[in-house]
Amino acid sequence: MSVRRLRDAGFSWTWLLTLVPGFVMFSGGLVGIVVMLFDSQLLSDPAMLNSQEFLQSQAFQDFVASDAVIGLALTAFLGFVLLVIAGIAVTVLHIMPSKTYEQGNKRLKPATPII
């Protein structure tokens, strides 16, 4: 449906692909942080994240302050910003008015038959 809407407005469907880099950066950053958290042996059970003692421990604070985690968090944040900007751009293209047959929309029948 999005592809058809973009084509009716006179834009290429490839505008939908602008969402991919932001999504990949955002999800990659978040997955990287979770994988590092489990690999660091700090977290043996996800329920530990609800514990104030665990969240205030020095080992967890050192983990959060590490360069790798900060880099992954920055990657996730920039991916989120890129995803929002691309989403706004695609939304603006979606709400553009459709082109008429005379303007080149081949999927729309002409208002007056061509003889």
Grade residue 111 by pLDDT with cuts at 50, 70 and 90. Answer: low
Query: What whole-number distance in Å separates Cα of residue 75 and Cα of residue 81?
Result: 10
What DSSP designation does 100 have?
P
pLDDT value of position 104: 67
- How far apart (Å, rounded) are the C-alpha atoms in residues 85 and 25? 14
Tokens for 31, please give them. Answer: 């997955």
The arithmetic mean of pLDDT across residues 10-21, rounded, is 87
Average pLDDT over residues 78-83: 97
- 76, 93, 77, 68: which is closest to 16 by C-alpha? 93
pLDDT of residue 114: 61
